[in-house]
A and B are shown apart, each in its own frame.
Chain A
Amino acid sequence: MNRLRLWLLAVGGTGLAALLVAACLDLPRFGGRSHPYGDRAVHASLRRHIANTIASVNFDQRAYDTLGEMSILFAAVLGCVVLLRQTRDEHRAPPEPAEVARPVRRYALLVLPVALVTGLYVIAHGQLSPGGGFQGGVVAATALHLLYLGADYGALERVRPLGVYETTDALAVSSYVVLGLAGLLAGTAFLANTLLPYGTFNTLSSGGTVPLLNAAVGMEVAGAATVLLAHFLDQAVEIEDATEEEPGK
């Protein structure tokens, strides 16, 4: 059985490898000069006074796709919440606090605000410099979990009312949709970037609706990552089977 499977894998893998190599040899040469879509995207972005072309592609030219991406994230978090909920045969045992060396604790508590500010900075400058809602949101959510590293799970739970983050997540997704619908009401198209003035190039308020959509994505990702990590932490640290023995033995 096992040997048969390996043989099958070897045959399939060799075939796939041959096809992939053939495809690679036929691709346009690495580093080539012809990027028609890229050049047009850059022009469109500059026309709308957005310094970061990638943000322009994500939140203006392909804003509808980003809505899909957000719904995937939202649905995945929902799925994780359902899969990792506490079932009837499990109980919660509050974990005993871990003993953290003082320098580590100090470092975690000092870096936490720095990381939060960095996250907000990355979100706010999304349409100017590299970064954006997604990157900043993950950083902000990770920053919060420094409390778990610096202190213990109890401390994290106290500053993390989960309902608030779940609501933030949902609100952010709906605000993205509302921003899209606003374009429709204004007589153009869903998520069209024609509502707001484009502003001065390379300033925080430039780019019409892009900064707003960016902020919505940032909020959503921060909320989603926090909720996700909360459920995994609950499972790993707090929730136990009825049959499970006391931890730490």
Chain B
Amino acid sequence: MSHAMDVLPYLVAAYVFLTGCYGLATSRHLIHAVGCLAVCQSATYILLLAVGYRAGGTAPVFSDIEPGSRPVVDPVVQALTLTDIVVGATVTALLLALVLQIAKRHGTVDPDELRELRG
């Protein structure tokens, strides 16, 4: 149990990433593809936070606990993840705007039909 626990979060992150990639590659709808990309992004959050976790630790926020009274987890990766989520949300928005533009120009949101259009 404890040995599996050493790598389980990393494996879950890898699994989520691969699942998202599978969805991206087989997607038949561009908006669905954007959703799959969001799944891929969430894998990076899991990986980063898993790296920073410390067994028995608590959040490095000292508004309600005395500094130094309890072990804390790594704040650096949490800050990175925060940035990651912001950038992920903007990427989703920008891609959705592009999808709407494609739908307007080509009248379809199926990636395969788009390929045929280009010839």
- Residues of A whose CB lies within 8 Å of any CB of B are 5-6, 9, 13, 16-17, 20-21, 23-25, 27-33, 35, 37-38, 41-42, 45-46, 51-54, 56-58, 62, 65-66, 69, 72-73, 76-77, 79-80, 83-84, 87, 125, 128-130, 132, 134, 201-202, 221, 228, 231-232, 235, 241
Chain B interface (Cβ < 8 Å from any Cβ of A): 5-11, 13-14, 17-18, 21-22, 25-26, 50-56, 59-64, 67, 72-79, 82-83, 86-87, 90-91, 93-94, 96-98, 100-101, 104
Residue contact A31 to B54, C-beta cutoff 8 Å? yes
- State in angstroms the CA–CA spacing of A231 and B64 once bound together: 41
Complex contacts, B21 vs chain A, CB 8 Å: 13, 16
Residues of A contacting B96 with CB < 8 Å? 232
Query: CA A216 – CA B53 in complex, angstroms?
Result: 30
- Please name the residue on chain B nearest to A33 by beta carbon: B54
Would A202 and B51 count as touching, CB distance under 8 A? no
Question: Smallest Cβ distance from A172 to chain B, in angstroms?
Answer: 14
> Given A24-B10, A31-B54, A38 and B76 touching (CB < 8 A)?
yes
Cβ B91 vs Cβ A76 within 8 A: yes
A57 touches B62 (CB 8 A): no
Measured CA separation A21–B8 after assembly (Å): 10
* Most chain A beta-carbon neighbours within 10 Å: one of B55, B60, B63: B60
CA distance A235 to B26 in the complex (A): 28
Q: Do B7 and A30 touch across chains, with their CB atoms under 8 A apart?
A: yes
Task: Give the top 10 A-B pairs by smallest Cβ distance, nearest first.
Answer: A38-B74, A31-B55, A24-B10, A76-B90, A53-B60, A57-B79, A20-B14, A53-B75, A83-B97, A35-B74
